Amino acid sequence: MQIIIINGPTLNLLGKREPEIYGSQTFEDYLNQLRLKFPEVKLDYFQSNIEGEIIDKIQETGFSYDGIILNAAAYTHTSIGIGDVVKAITTPVIEVHISNTFSREEFRHQSYISPNAKGVILGFGLQSYDLALQSFL
């Protein structure tokens, strides 16, 4: 089983970015834990702060991988382009968020990804990625 986690803008700063919301663990550290927990999964990882690079990666993996776990971060709430590419591909996409976006500012309640995602997991901290991974197994 081949899965990719795609993280959007400023998720490269996890560990030092607003730790009261996003926790104090780096994503690289968490990813190592996930890979140890799910040795049967070929788990790839991509992070970019650039919308077009995220779209390119979704196109590149979206017809051959078994699943995409997508945290498009702020682009979730703004990007029709990412919403369109999620609709265009055949690989199922699970949308994840670390925080509960519905308990935060109103602009975070809108998602251009959710209508075309297989499911949405949010508000469980980094464990949201683990739950998304389990949903593919």
Residue by residue, DSSP assigns 84-100 as HHHHH-SS-EEEEESS-
Name the active-site residue from 65, 97, 112, 129.
97
Interface with ligand DQA includes 98 (CB under 6 A)?
A: yes
Binding segment (CB under 6 A) for ligand DQA, from list 34-42, 56-64, 72-80, 111-119 = 72-80
Q: Which two tokens stand for residue 128?
A: 């949201």
Interface with ligand DQA includes 49 (CB under 6 A)?
A: no
* Active-site residue flag, 129: no
Q: Return the CA Rg of the chain.
A: 14
* Active-site residue flag, 22: yes
The residue to which tokens 């919403």 are assigned: 83
Among 41, 74, 120, 131, binds ligand DQA (CB under 6 A): 74
Interface with ligand DQA includes 118 (CB under 6 A)?
A: no
Distance of CA 82 to the CA centre of its chain: 12
Q: Where are the alpha helices (DSSP H) in the chain?
A: 19-22, 27-37, 51-61, 80-88, 127-136
Interface with ligand DQA includes 71 (CB under 6 A)?
A: yes
**Neighbouring C-alpha atoms within 13 Å toward the C-beta of 126:** 18
Interface with ligand DQA includes 113 (CB under 6 A)?
A: no
Binding segment (CB under 6 A) for ligand DQA, from list 32-40, 48-56, 82-90, 97-105 = 97-105
Coil vs helix vs strand at 19: helix
Which residue lies nearest ligand DQA, judged by its C-beta?
73
Residues with a catalytic annotation lie at 22, 97
Q: Which residues bind ligand DQA (CB under 6 A)?
A: 10, 71, 73-74, 76, 97-99, 101, 108
